[in-house]
């Protein structure tokens, strides 16, 4: 393409425009990374830009009628840059710019070992991040005692998160099941990021850090329901209460991660599960297994979470958990003369312990192998329950960024039924369409008291709207 153009005029125009015009393709210009605060200077300094060459008397002057040939992309970019320069000159000189609210430093966030900051919440005193998570499941089961069989269950979670002050973040999660009850606050807590070097403080109602997945919400699990040993020995979803929790990143160096969590919580005076001491031969009152759980009311919690890399492709994690406190359990002791149930509340002390180990291996093309095992121990005192334990083993293979398959094996005692156990093996497939939507299929074959060789099938749909962020798997 040929254009009549003055060489002198073209030179003056190019001198004040983008340096990308010096190449045929503007995308060929390398983009340099911005230096991080406090980062050391690069060992090899960037080459200095060549000094402009002043025109000499020996250089011939360009004639006004001379024709210059340039690529079309350069010409179109030149026109755009000229228009941008004209538009910039129309603005009032010296116009003040809007002040930018300061954002909390990332150093405090890094001290936790995990980050729950939403991308839209980096500036405080602004609008909060509001999100919604929908979790829908359909359950098929051959155990006719299961009240949820052959039915659709939907749960919604609203997350409201944001910074209320530099390095002070507030997270609220409101959860409800349409048709079964009102929405209620599941978690609501303040997080003081970097209260001291390596220390974060959380105050409010939250999931206590007990076990590897103790702080995860159900839509972050790698399976469609809570694992059996946690249901029977700990809680249907998580140990939760109002209190304070300290997360301290131990100064172990860059190659070894270790976080110590210490907390004190109050779960209220409501009793946990229900016992049937009126007929020890029928602990489940003629129905399906009654999952009592811990029933902790006031308790202290501690967890040590450690991890390191084994070469460039492998990671290993170890976790130790302990909770102890006062427990309340509903106790059915029989029937009165009028036929009404006699139910009292059994109170006592309880110790819970847990150990978990995880191994990850990262392969090419977004592939990943995860192996995990976790063990739980239930030790009551002055309660009408018995010592019990349980474990699960999980293997998960992500063969690309959209699909993964897992195998889960579980075994657990029942605290209210001495000698009774439950076992199950499940095959799990998950299709992740994007970061906001996945579908999961979970097929289970197991044995439980009163129903040997039962079969379950679950179909799960999870959607997310908004910048919903908290602990993830």
What is the spatial distance between Cα 224 and Cα 16, in angstroms, rounded to a whole number?
A: 60
What pLDDT is stored for residue 31 in this prediction?
Answer: 39
* Residue 325 contacts residue 180 (beta carbons within 8 Å): no
**Helix or strand or coil: residue 405?**
strand
Q: Work out the angle between the directed axes of helices 7-15 and 72-90 (0-180°, nearest 10).
A: 60
What is the spatial distance between Cα 57 and Cα 80, in angstroms, rounded to a whole number?
A: 33
What pLDDT is stored for residue 220 in this prediction?
Answer: 92
* Residue 415 contacts residue 277 (beta carbons within 8 Å): no
Q: What tokens were used for 393?
A: 């083993």
What is the spatial distance between Cα 76 and Cα 37, in angstroms, rounded to a whole number?
A: 38
DSSP states of 279-337 as a string? Answer: -TT-TTTTSS-------EEEEEEEEEEEEEEETTTEEEEEEEEEEEEEEEEEEEEEE-T
For the chain, how are helix, strand and coil distributed in percent, rounded to 5? 10, 50, 40
What is the spatial distance between Cα 104 and Cα 87, in angstroms, rounded to a whole number?
A: 35
* Residue 260 contacts residue 269 (beta carbons within 8 Å): no
Identify the CA nearest to 165 among candidates 194, 185, 188, 186: 194
CATH number of 108-465: 2.40.160.10
Q: What tokens were used for 131?
A: 């999100």
What is the spatial distance between Cα 303 and Cα 69, in angstroms, rounded to a whole number?
A: 71
**pTM (2 d.p.):** 0.71
Q: Which helix (H) or strand (E) holds 12?
A: helix 7-15
261 bridge partner residues: 247, 303
Dmax (CA) for the chain in angstroms is 121
pLDDT values of the chain reduced to their tens digit, one per residue, 473 residues: 444 444 334 443 444 444 443 444 433 434 344 444 444 444 444 444 444 444 444 444 445 556 777 788 777 888 888 888 887 765 544 444 444 444 444 444 444 444 444 444 455 557 889 999 999 999 999 988 888 888 899 999 999 999 999 899 999 999 998 777 678 999 999 999 999 999 999 999 999 999 999 999 999 999 999 999 999 999 988 999 999 999 999 999 888 999 999 999 998 766 677 777 766 666 666 667 778 888 898 999 999 999 999 998 999 999 999 999 999 888 877 787 787 877 888 889 999 999 999 999 999 988 999 999 999 999 999 888 899 999 999 999 999 999 999 999 999 999 888 888 999 999 999 999 988 899 999 999 999 988 889 999 999 999 999 887 655 55
What pLDDT is stored for residue 472 in this prediction?
Answer: 52
Distances (CA, A) of 342 to 153, 269, 270: 32, 19, 17
What pLDDT is stored for residue 263 in this prediction?
Answer: 97
């Amino acid at each position: 393409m040929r254009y009549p153009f003055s060489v002198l005029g073209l030179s003056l125009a190019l001198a004040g425009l983008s340096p990308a015009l010096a190449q045929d393709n503007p995308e060929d210009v390398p983009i340099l990374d911005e230096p991080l605060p406090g980062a050391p200077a690069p060992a090899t300094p960037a080459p200095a830009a060549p000094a402009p060459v002043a025109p000499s008397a020996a250089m011939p002057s360009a004639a006004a009628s001379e024709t210059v040939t340039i690529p079309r992309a350069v010409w179109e970019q030149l026109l755009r840059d000229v228009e941008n320069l004209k538009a910039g000159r129309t603005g009032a000189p010296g116009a003040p710019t809007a002040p930018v609210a300061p954002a909390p430093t990332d150093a405090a966030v890094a001290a936790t070992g995990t980050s729950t900051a939403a991308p839209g919440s980096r500036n405080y005193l602004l609008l909060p991040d509001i999100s919604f998570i929908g979790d829908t499941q359909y359950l098929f089961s051959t155990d006719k005692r299961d009240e949820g069989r052959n039915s659709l269950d939907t749960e919604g979670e609203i997350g409201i998160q944001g910074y209320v002050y530099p390095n002070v973040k507030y997270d609220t999660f409101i959860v409800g099941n349409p048709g079964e009850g009102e929405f209620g606050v599941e978690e609501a807590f303040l997080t003081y990021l970097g209260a001291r070097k390596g220390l974060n403080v959380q105050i409010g109602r939250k999931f206590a850090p007990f076990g590897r997945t103790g702080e995860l919400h159900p839509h972050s699990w790698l399976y469609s329901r809570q694992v059996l040993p946690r249901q029977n020995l700990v809680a249907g979803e998580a140990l939760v209460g109002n209190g304070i929790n300290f997360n301290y990143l131990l100064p172990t160096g860059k190659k070894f991660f270790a976080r110590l969590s210490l907390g004190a919580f109050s779960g209220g005076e409501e009793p946990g599960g229900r016992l049937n001491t009126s007929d020890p031969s029928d602990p489940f009152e003629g129905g399906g297994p009654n999952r009592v759980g811990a029933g902790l009311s006031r308790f202290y919690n501690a967890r040590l979470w450690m991890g390191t890399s084994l070469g460039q492709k492998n990671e290993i994690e170890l976790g130790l958990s302990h909770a102890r406190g006062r427990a309340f359990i509903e106790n059915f002791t029989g029937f009165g003369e009028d036929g009404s149930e006699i139910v009292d509340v059994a109170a006592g002390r309880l110790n819970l312990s847990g150990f978990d180990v995880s191994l990850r291996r990262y392969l090419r093309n977004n592939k990943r192998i995860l192996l995990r095992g976790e063990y739980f121990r239930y030790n009551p005192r002055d309660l009408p329950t018995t010592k019990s334990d349980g474990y699960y083993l999980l293997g998960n293979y992500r063969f690309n960024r959209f699909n993964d398959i897992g195998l889960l094996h579980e075994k657990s005692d029942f605290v209210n039924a001495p000698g009774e156990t439950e076992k199950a093996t499940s095959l799990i497939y998950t299709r992740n369409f994007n970061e906001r939507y996945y579908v999961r299929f979970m097929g289970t074959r197991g044995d439980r008291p009163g129903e040997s060789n039962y079969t379950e099938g679950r179909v799960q749909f999870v959607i997310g709207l908004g910048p919903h962020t908290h602990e993830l798997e």
